[in-house]
């Protein structure tokens, strides 16, 4: 399927119906309905109908014609070239690339030629790796090196960078996931990552997005994901939309700014007859929130970057529960969520739902990890004497309290005290505040004192009074 820009319709030819019968009819789609415009299609000679499937088509915008080559017909694999002028099919050549199915074609507007690559060679049972161009009167083989031989791949022309983009396909004993570009004289491999290795997918240029779109195909199972190629990287756009499928057709309607998908086979290998469209007005998250690590009492923030039509609204969530502004939470309904002072209870997963004219999307989850203060005690035991107590990761320039107890335990601070409800690692025996002061400008500090032998064998713990985060328990020894 290709889009005829001169007549403003998508053109579909041939294929196979639900009874596995080859088709030779021609249809057009104007955005609202399908119209059958020809019953008989390309034929080997006048008056004989030749239905086919696994052929390839491209739209020659300079001459205003649809170019069709090859495929599989009732008599075997085909090597004929036809053109559709909006009214009738005309046989243009029977010489050129050897007969083949499962090849791909795209029109190179900068050079005024249709480019063909690959396909299946029935004579020798291998995959073609040749590149041909059609100028409207004859085929020329322009290169035999480049991508490895393959079939059931997809190609699309990028008019901004003036290159033909090729992705994936099926090679002997190997699904392919590489991306190549043809600049009119040579192929260059430009990526080996992106969509999973697959075949029987489709690609088309999307003008308003300025990218090449890819949909569906088989990577072991039929897929329903949509990707875009911006000339340097692939990006997953969506996993929702048309049901997963392969062997479908796709093109771009430049008049209505819509990508069109028709037919194919679903996950149960059933042939489909549905039509789908997606416009350039999509809602995408360009940059997802990232994982954060913060000290207790310090601030933390998450940011999302989204693009879409209309005014965008945001709703941040913590562990799936919507947040509201108040207390330490600011910006719960903006693109940036800020927690002005982090507590241990803030350690969680955060995401954001973004809503626009095109619907709602949810970001990936980002994890906030809260680092508790760390405490080290060095004492002179068992006789007592100089003692040093050092800590880090407390709230910078915040208040801290150093606690001492004779035993460990699970003492919970009572309601009448600061940080009520915080569970300590100390027991109640001889529990007291040994020192209270400021944590230090970087949240770390060392204090020195002298202690008697009675403290030896006891335990100390620091509590950050800004975040109520307790440190580890350190033994005095």
Does one domain contain both 111 and 148?
A: yes
pLDDT at 49: 42
Does one domain contain both 118 and 177?
A: yes
pLDDT at 241: 84
Task: Kindly state the percentage of the chain with pLDDT values over 90.
Answer: 74
* Domain containing residue 122: CATH number: 2.120.10.80
Does one domain contain both 267 and 394?
A: no
* Domain containing residue 424: CATH number: 2.60.40
Does one domain contain both 204 and 184?
A: yes
pLDDT at 48: 38
pLDDT at 145: 81
Does one domain contain both 63 and 199?
A: yes
Contact by Cβ (8 Å): 26, 13: yes
pLDDT at 50: 64
Interstrand relation of 249-253 and 258-265 (parallel, antiparallel or unpaired)? antiparallel
Does one domain contain both 272 and 295?
A: no
Which residues of the chain are modeled with pLDDT < 70?
40-50, 279-282
Q: Which of 213, 269, 220, 204 is nearest to 243 (CA)?
A: 269
Residue 337 sits in which domain range?
285-370
Q: What percent of the residues of the chain are helix, what percent strand, and what percent coil, each to the nearest 5?
A: 0, 55, 45
pLDDT at 154: 98
Domain limit, last residue, from 280, 305, 333: 280
pLDDT at 264: 95
Does one domain contain both 76 and 124?
A: yes
Domain limit, last residue, from 370, 394, 423: 370
Q: Which of 118, 124, 116 is nearest to 149 (CA)?
A: 118
The predicted model scores a pTM of: 0.64
How many angstroms separate the CA atoms of 94 and 9, rounded?
Answer: 28
Residues contacting residue 108 through CB under 8 Å, at least 6 positions apart:
114, 115, 133, 157, 162, 164, 182, 184
Instruction: Indicate the SS3 state at residue 58.
Output: strand
The token duo for 446 is 């060392």
Degrees (nearest 5) of the Cα angle 187, 165, 228?
A: 145
Domain limit, last residue, from 280, 299, 319: 280
pLDDT at 412: 94
Does one domain contain both 255 and 360?
A: no
Q: Which of 87, 108, 74 is nearest to 28 (CA)?
A: 87
Does one domain contain both 48 and 92?
A: yes
Does one domain contain both 327 and 378?
A: no
Does one domain contain both 269 and 380?
A: no
pLDDT at 44: 36
Does one domain contain both 362 and 459?
A: no
* Domain containing residue 331: CATH number: 2.60.40.10
Q: Count of domains in the chain?
A: 3
């Amino acid at each position: 399927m290709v889009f005829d820009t001169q007549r403003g319709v998508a053109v579909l030819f041939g294929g196979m119906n639900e009874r596995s019968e080859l088709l030779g009819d021609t249809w057009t789609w104007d955005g609202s309905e399908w119209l059958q415009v020809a019953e008989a299609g390309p034929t080997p000679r006048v008056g004989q109908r030749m239905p086919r499937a696994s052929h390839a088509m491209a739209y020659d915008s300079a001459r205003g014609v649809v170019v069709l080559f090859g495929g599989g017909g009732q008599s075997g694999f085909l090597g004929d070239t036809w053109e559709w002028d909006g009214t009738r099919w005309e046989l243009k050549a029977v010489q050129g690339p050897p007969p083949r199915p499962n090849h791909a074609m795209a029109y190179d507007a900068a050079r005024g030629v249709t480019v063909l690559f690959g396909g299946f060679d029935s004579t020798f049972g291998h995959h073609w790796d040749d590149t041909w161009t059609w100028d409207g009167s004859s085929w020329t083989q322009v290169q035999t090196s480049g991508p490895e031989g393959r079939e059931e791949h997809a190609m699309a022309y990028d008019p901004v960078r003036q290159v033909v983009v090729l992705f994936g396909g099926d090679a002997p004993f190997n699904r392919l996931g590489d991306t190549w570009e043809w600049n009119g004289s040579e192929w260059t491999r430009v990526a080996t990552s992106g969509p999973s290795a697959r075949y029987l997918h489709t690609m088309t240029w999307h003008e308003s997005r300025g990218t090449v779109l890819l949909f569906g195909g088989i990577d072991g199972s039929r897929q329903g994901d949509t990707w875009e190629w911006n000339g340097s990287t692939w990006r997953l756009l969506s996993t929702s939309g048309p049901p997963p499928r392969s062997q479908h057709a796709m093109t771009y309607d430049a008049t209505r700014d819509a990508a069109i998908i028709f037919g194919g086979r679903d996950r149960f290998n059933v042939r489909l007859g549905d039509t789908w469209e997606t416009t350039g007005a999509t809602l995408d998250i360009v940059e997802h929130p990232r994982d954060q690590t913060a000290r207790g009492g310090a601030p933390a923030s998450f940011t999302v970057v989204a693009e879409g039509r209309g005014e965008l609204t945001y709703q941040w969530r913590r562990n799936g529960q919507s947040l509201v502004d108040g207390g330490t939470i600011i910006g719960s309904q903006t693109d940036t969520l800020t927690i002005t002072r982090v507590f241990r209870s803030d350690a969680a997963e955060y995401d954001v739902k973004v809503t626009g004219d095109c619907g709602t999307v949810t970001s990936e989850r980002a994890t906030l990890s809260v680092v508790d203060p760390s405490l080290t005690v060095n004492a002179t035991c068992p006789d007592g004497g100089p003692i040093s107590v050092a800590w880090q990761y407390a709230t910078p320039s915040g208040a801290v309290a150093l606690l001492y107890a004779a035993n460990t335990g699970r003492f919970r601070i009572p309601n009448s005290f600061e940080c009520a409800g915080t569970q300590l690692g100390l027991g109640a025996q001889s529990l007291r505040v040994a020192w209270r002061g400021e944590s230090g400008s970087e949240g770390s500090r060392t204090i020195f004192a002298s202690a008697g032998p009675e403290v030896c064998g006891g335990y100390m713990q620091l509590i950050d009074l800004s975040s109520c985060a307790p440190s580890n328990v350190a033994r005095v020894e």
